[in-house]
């Protein structure tokens, strides 16, 4: 059956590579559409100073370790991209990829939306290929601009949140980039520059970066390394977030206090039984105390108050919102020497020679403004559907979280899966777990509940994410329930979710990709499910 089914995968970032690898293992016929001329997604274009936020042992494939030649604990962007390329080469993924192929629309042709709404089971039968329709995928060649329509029985969206559609702030009339005499660009366009060209672009220039997360910090560090205190880089942030360094002690604190199974006992989880709910209530004061201890440690480690970078939210809250940032090397050394200047302002606007910060009404003279203001990932996901009904279904209301069963399947949209959208601090592992789950489902190894119950599960997780993430709920952050989520996927696949040897080890030592190696036996092995 598998060889007769065409599985279209949109995006050749890490999620697309994983989906393709496991589709090949199951005997399906995958085709991957990638708009760029290289794999890697956001890692295909990074600034020179960008490094992994995770240490490499926690950011690797379960069955493909980092090469011994990579000695850095936090590999660079180029090292990470090379690692992905080796993975794709090893598992024969490259022949499946159509580069320079931008998907500009997908449309489900078959049953009507009215008929789909009447289904009690997903896809009409509860099976992966139960409906009679097919997806029509409109693909534009980015070089020739020609358009071709492909057909597939199943579509996997691996387009992620952090690329493609930049979030450009709105400014009052006469106070936007149009009045500024210098250069204005989004961090996405800066990252696409060749490293040599980027260095020449900012060399000897006054650069201002608008933003407060990883991209802003990386670009500011790169500017500081090039220009020093003679031409300092200014960061303007609206909201301060908690920063951690890539030092081993910071890594241990984050891992053992926030990424272990025990740490999740301190917070409520979606679908938890009564005993765990009572335990979470009893342990919540401990979670609050650990957060305060962590904040005190970080205030001691970094001059947060001195440079007005002390967040208003608790550390635990920022963690639950996926708002933590790992600092570039020697970031505060650059601040101390004057190579990086940090300013806080609730809003800004442009003038002819620079930027005006609201509140103190000060002008910042600058030559280049880089907007590290994020992306409209939810809008990009919506726009890929041609059907207005499907567009409404995939996003829900303006305040809702992406309504996905197991963070993978929409209860109403047939023959489609989403990988790599939900955010967390274990992004690669989470995408690999989802890819294995999805391909097990496509191989008829997982049974789905009815549409009503799928919707209830999606709503339950959505409510949990909104409570934990607040205004950042659109990011679908599941970092505070990451192990709990992986447990659900393991149980669905008939695997033991307890992956470590020993009760205390399983309870207190953070889970890493190697713990999930060999989770599902490969087809043809003696223990195949």
Cβ contacts of 202 within 8 Å, gap of 6 or more: 222, 223, 226, 227, 368
Per-residue pLDDT of the chain (529 residues; tens, 9 = 90+): 445 789 999 999 999 999 999 999 999 999 999 999 999 888 887 777 777 877 888 899 999 999 999 888 888 888 999 999 999 999 999 999 999 999 999 999 989 999 999 999 999 999 999 888 999 999 999 999 999 999 999 999 999 877 778 888 888 888 899 999 999 999 889 988 888 898 999 999 999 999 888 889 889 999 999 999 999 999 998 888 888 877 777 777 777 888 899 999 999 999 999 999 999 999 999 999 999 999 999 999 888 888 888 888 899 988 888 888 788 888 888 999 999 998 888 888 898 888 988 767 788 899 999 999 888 888 889 999 999 999 999 987 767 788 999 999 999 999 999 998 877 766 799 999 999 999 999 999 999 999 999 999 999 998 998 888 877 777 778 888 999 999 999 999 999 999 999 999 999 999 999 999 988 776 655 444 3
CB-side exposure of 373: number of CA atoms within 13 Å?
Answer: 19
CA–CA gap between residue 150 and residue 21 (Å, rounded): 21
Dig out the tokens for 337 from the structure: 């020497």
Dig out the tokens for 165 from the structure: 């559609």
Task: Find the DSSP H helices in 176-273.
Answer: 187-191, 195-202, 214-227, 248-258, 261-264
CA–CA gap between residue 223 and residue 470 (Å, rounded): 33
Laid out side by side, the sheet with 340-344 consists of: 183-186, 368-371, 207-210, 233-237, 340-344
DSSP annotation of 518 reads: T
Residue 438: predicted pLDDT:
97
Could you give the angle at the alpha carbon of 71 between the alpha carbons of 69 and 75, nearest 5°?
Answer: 100
Torsion of CA 225, 425, 520, 493, to 10 degrees: -160
CA–CA gap between residue 432 and residue 514 (Å, rounded): 12
Q: SS3 of 187, please?
A: helix
Residue 201: predicted pLDDT:
92
Report yes or no: 390 and 418 within 8 Å, Cβ to Cβ.
no
Q: For the chain, what percentages of helix, strand and coil (3-state, to nearest 5) are there?
A: 40, 15, 40
CA–CA gap between residue 182 and residue 202 (Å, rounded): 12
Report yes or no: 236 and 210 within 8 Å, Cβ to Cβ.
yes
> What is the per-residue DSSP string for 3-41?
GG-EEEEE--SHHHHHHHHHHHHTT-EEEEE-SSSSSSG
Task: Find the DSSP H helices in 352-419.
Answer: 377-383, 388-395
Instruction: Please state whether beta strands 134-141 and 147-152 pair in parallel, antiparallel, or not at all (unpaired).
Output: antiparallel
Task: Find the DSSP H helices in 122-264.
Answer: 187-191, 195-202, 214-227, 248-258, 261-264
Distances (CA, A) of 184 to 159, 218, 226, 443: 26, 18, 19, 49
Longest Cα–Cα distance in the chain: 71
Neighbours of 4 (CB within 10 A): 10
Of 478, 336, 318, nearest in space to 310 by CA: 318
Could you give the angle at the alpha carbon of 79 between the alpha carbons of 74 and 81, nearest 5°?
Answer: 115
Report yes or no: 14 and 64 within 8 Å, Cβ to Cβ.
no
Residue 306 Rama label (left phi>0; alpha psi -120 to 50; beta): alpha
Element (H, E) at 368: strand 368-371
Residue 529: predicted pLDDT:
38
Instruction: Classify the C-alpha dihedral 279-285-286-287 as positive or negative.
Output: positive
Residue 526: predicted pLDDT:
47
Partners of 186 in the beta sheet? 371
Residue 226: predicted pLDDT:
93
């Amino acid at each position: 059956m598998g060889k007769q089914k065409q599985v279209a995968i949109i995006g050749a970032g890490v999620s697309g590579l994983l989906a393709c690898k496991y589709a090949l293992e199951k005997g399906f016929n995958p085709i991957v559409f990638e708009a760029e001329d290289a794999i890697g997604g956001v890692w295909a274009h990074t600034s020179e100073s960008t490094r992994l936020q995770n240490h490499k042992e926690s950011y690797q494939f379960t069955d493909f370790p980092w090469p011994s030649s990579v000695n850095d604990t936090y590999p660079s962007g180029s090292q990470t991209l090379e690692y992905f390329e080796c993975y794709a080469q090893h598992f024969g993924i490259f022949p499946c990829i159509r580069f320079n192929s931008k998907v500009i629309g997908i449309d489900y042709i078959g049953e009507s939306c009215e008929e789909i709404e009447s289904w009690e089971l997903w896809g009409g039968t509860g099976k992966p290929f139960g409906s009679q329709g097919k997806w029509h995928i409109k693909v534009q060649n980015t070089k020739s601009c020609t358009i071709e329509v492909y057909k597939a029985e199943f579509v996997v969206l691996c387009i992620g949140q952090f690329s493609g559609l930049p979030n450009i702030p709105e400014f009052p009339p006469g106070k936007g980039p149009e009045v500024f005499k210098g250069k204005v660009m989004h961090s996405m366009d800066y990252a696409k520059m060749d490293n040599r060209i980027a260095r020449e672009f900012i060399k000897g220039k006054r650069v201002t970066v608008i933003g407060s997360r990883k991209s802003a910090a990386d670009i500011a560090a790169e500017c500081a390394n090039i220009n020093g205190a003679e031409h300092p880089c200014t960061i303007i942030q609206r909201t301060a977030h908690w920063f951690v360094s890539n030092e081993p002690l910071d890594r241990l604190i984050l891992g053992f206090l926030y990424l272990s199974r025990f740490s999740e006992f301190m917070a409520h989880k979606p679908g938890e039984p009564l005993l765990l709910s009572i335990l979470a209530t009893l342990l919540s004061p401990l979670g609050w105390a650990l957060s305060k201890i962590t904040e005190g440690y970080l205030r001691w480690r970094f001059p947060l108050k001195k440079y007005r970078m002390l967040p208003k939210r608790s550390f635990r809250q920022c963690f639950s919102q996926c708002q933590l940032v790992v600092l570039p090397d020697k970031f505060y050394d650059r601040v101390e020497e004057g190579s990086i200047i940090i300013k806080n302002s609730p809003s800004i606007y442009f003038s002819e020679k620079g930027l005006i910060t609201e509140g103190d009404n000060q002008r910042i003279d600058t030559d280049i403004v880089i907007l590290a203001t994020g992306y409209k990932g939810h809008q990009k996901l919506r726009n890929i559907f041609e059907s207005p009904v499907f567009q409404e279904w995939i996003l829900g209301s303006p305040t809702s979280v992406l309504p996905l069963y197991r963070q993978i399947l929409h209860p109403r949209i047939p023959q489609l899966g989403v990988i790599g959208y939900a955010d967390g601090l274990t992004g690669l592992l989470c995408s690999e777990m989802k890819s294995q789950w999805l391909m097990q489902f496509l191989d008829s190894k997982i049974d789905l509940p009815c549409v009503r119950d799928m919707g209830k599960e999606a709503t339950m997780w959505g409510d949990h994410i909104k409570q934990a993430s607040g205004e950042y709920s659109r990011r679908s952050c599941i970092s505070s329930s990451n192990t709990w989520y992986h447990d659900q996927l393991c149980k669905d696949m008939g695997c033991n979710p307890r992956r470590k040897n020993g009760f205390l080890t399983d309870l207190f030592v953070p889970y890493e990709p190697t713990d999930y190696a060999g989770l599902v036996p490969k087809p043809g092995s003696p223990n195949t499910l």
